[in-house]
Chain A
Amino acid sequence: MKRMITRAGLIRAGVFFALLIIVPILGGPVWLLNLLIFTVMYAALSSSWNLLGGLAGYPSLGHVAFFGIGAYAFALTFSGSVGDGYSPFLVLPVIGIAVGLLSLPIGWVSMRTRADVFAIVTITFLFITQTLAFNLTKITGGAQGASVAAPPFDPATYDWPFYYAMIVLLAIAMGISFYFSRSKIGLSLSTVRADEDKAHGVGVRVTAVKLIAFAVSAGMVAMVGGVWAYYIGFIYPQFAVDPLITIGMVLMAFLGGRGTLWGPVLGSFILVPAQQFFAQSFGASQLYLLAYAAVFLVIMLFLPRGILPSISDRLRRRRAAALGAARDAEAHTADAVTPEEVKA
């Protein structure tokens, strides 16, 4: 299933990113930009998760650990000064690569297991990271949290650099996802997802491609974590390594459609605004958790394959039905013709 670069695809991506870029320039309200930052952040996270969870079929529930590690790496590097405010963004790729490398042994150990057990192991990894963030007080500051120096940005456009950084990360994550779907890596990953033993049997280098997907996905998530820490300015273990972020990534990919390019993005643009709405209307009470769980259940029960795959499935079925009808009609005329032929 090699994915082609089509004009429609290019236009879709172009329009989408152009719209995102233009919003602050047109001068949208502050709350909108704030909402968009988190929406794009989740789109980037979910797209990165999708590289492993969607394409390879390894549903990691521990990806927020890498998010937290990236956030702490950023906060510890820039606790004193951020210079002109823009240079820290240039350090992000270093954090991404470092975390990607760090994730290799973790990926190697955890991907000795599959499916359910893999999910268990990764969720345990989440708790390990959270415990470490709380307990290594000399490094992380423990429950006291860690802070990032405030950048000297113009208050009027303070949010802009973070917003554009998130957009760049989303573009990279989608670019990688697209590249994977066109390359041998993506093909190998989909064989892993379909049947890993058979894939191994016919000579697909399963361990290598799984590790590539794991490391790339972890590194991307860590970079997003870095930008998040910079934007928030003050991070605590329970928020930097929050199981809800992990669930957010997974849920958005599930809602939009796992293994698709646009699914995670679509999922984020539906769920993040909904989440914010719940949090606003239910205030500080924990009812929003309940509402979130309800949305979660509805998605799992009624749209288990996600929006995009369901739609494309329906389209394909309609097309097949139309084709079938045409063939029936043809067969009918052929039937009608035969007696005449017999007569002749």
Chain B
Amino acid sequence: MHALIQAIILGILTGGVYALMASGQTLIFGVMKVVNLAQGALVVLGAYLTYSLFTSLGIDPFLSILITTPILFAVGVGVQWVLLRPLHGDDIGQLSLLVTFAVALGLEGALSFVYGATLTNVQPTYANFSWTVLGYQISLVRLVAFVLSLVMLGVLYLILQRTKFGRSVRATVQNPMSAQLLGVNSQRVSALGFGLGAATAAAAGSVFGMLNSFNPGSHYDLISRLLTIVVLGGLGSIGGSVVAALVMGVGSSVVSALASPIWSDFTFFIVLLLVLLIRPRGLFGAKTRGSL
């Protein structure tokens, strides 16, 4: 029982971080109908940026988010503007999917070139600090990461609900054509939306770098989990992806504690299979695809 509750606590805290990564991906899908296979690579890029800032300049990993977020935002805008915007034709969905895969490969190649393929992680002095509450361990980094993810999700929510940009994004998600007729510059919204989605990878990357050992190839692990979360939550639903991330976080952590860590990834895939069998559009997926 103790192990189970400990696993659930751990799962919720981890799930929060996944929620942050997945919400970025969902936002990108919602705005542009692009499944961003580079989201995992962007998270790894964020982790390496944090690593560099920490080891060479001694900047605290949590503080470095303030620096990495604008960088990843710029990367996201750049990818959209240079590589995705020129695509056109009938199967633009397939093409953009493959383009984001190419971006992931390119990032992996560039990161391997700069940092090599050995596993590293970001180890601030408080990395292994944890509290014991009622006999349960709560690690400082995980708790701060969880809270930080909630804050970032809150900011994302406010941006979408309360700003003019957010209104244009939601309008574009609902009906790109009408939005454009009403004066929304859809190219700009797409670019900013992609940038915003990529920017969530900065915070997620810093945290990921503190919690896990990683190398440039780690994005494959990440993207397979993220895709499961996004499909489970229903493509395009940010709320859905948050719930799905928490479900998956708890699920895999429980399996890892009660069975074996090597099978924890498998819970993701089993859940995905069940979702497809029972409800292919996901938990919160709207009937018409891509509502936010």
Contacts and interface: CB of A to CB of B under 8 A. Distances in A.
Contacts, number: 115
Interface string A113-133: 101110111011001100100
Interface string B100-121: 0111011011101100010000
B98 interface: yes
Given A109-B277, A112-B280, A290-B109, A127 B269 contact: yes
Contact of A123 (B95, B216, B227): B227
Contact of B109 (A123, A124, A287, A301): A287
A215 B107 CA distance: 34
Contacts of B272: 121, 124
Nearest to A193: B91
A286 B216 contact: yes
A297 B102 CA distance: 6
A289 interface: yes
B138 interface: no
Nearest to A127: B224
B89 A305 contact: yes
B83 interface: yes
Given A121-B276, A127-B269, A289-B112, A115 B106 contact: no
Contact of A131 (B33, B231, B266): B266
Interface in B151-181: none
Contact of A119 (B35, B109, B228, B263): B35
B269 A128 contact: yes
A115 B224 contact: no
Given A290-B113, A304-B95, A124 B216 contact: no
Interface residues of A, number: 42
B276 A113 contact: yes
Interface of A: 57, 59, 61, 109-110, 112-113, 115-117, 119-121, 123-124, 127-128, 131, 134-135, 243-244, 247, 250-251, 254, 285-294, 296-297, 300-301, 304-305
Interface of B: 33, 35, 37, 83, 86-89, 91, 93-95, 97-99, 101-103, 105-106, 108-110, 112-113, 117, 216, 220, 223-224, 227-228, 230-231, 235, 262-263, 265-266, 269, 272-273, 276-277, 280
Closest 9 CB pairs of A and B: A289-B109, A286-B112, A293-B106, A290-B109, A296-B102, A127-B224, A293-B105, A128-B269, A293-B102
